[in-house]
Amino acid sequence: MKHVIFLSAIVFCTAAMAQEKPKEVKEEAEVKIIRVKDSDKTTEKKVKVVTRETGTVELDENDKNKVNQNRIASPTKVEKMVMVDDDDDNNYDVLKKETYFVLGDEKYTFTPNNSGFNMAFNSIDNTSIKVIKALTSSNQGYYIINGDMYSGIGYFDANHNFVVEYYNKDTNVIEMKTFKKID
Structure confidence at residue 2 (pLDDT): 63
Query: From the CB of residue 16, how many other CB atoms can be counted at a distance below 10 Å?
Result: 9
Q: What percent of the chain has pLDDT over 90?
A: 4
- Output the DSSP codes for 15-72: HHHTTSPPEEEEEEEEEEEEEEE-SS-EEEEEEEEEEEEEEE--B-GGGTT-SS--B-
Residue range 125-144, pLDDT digits in tens: 666 566 788 888 888 788 89
Stated pTM of the model: 0.48
- Say if residue 4's pLDDT is above 60: no
Q: What percent of the chain has pLDDT over 70?
A: 73
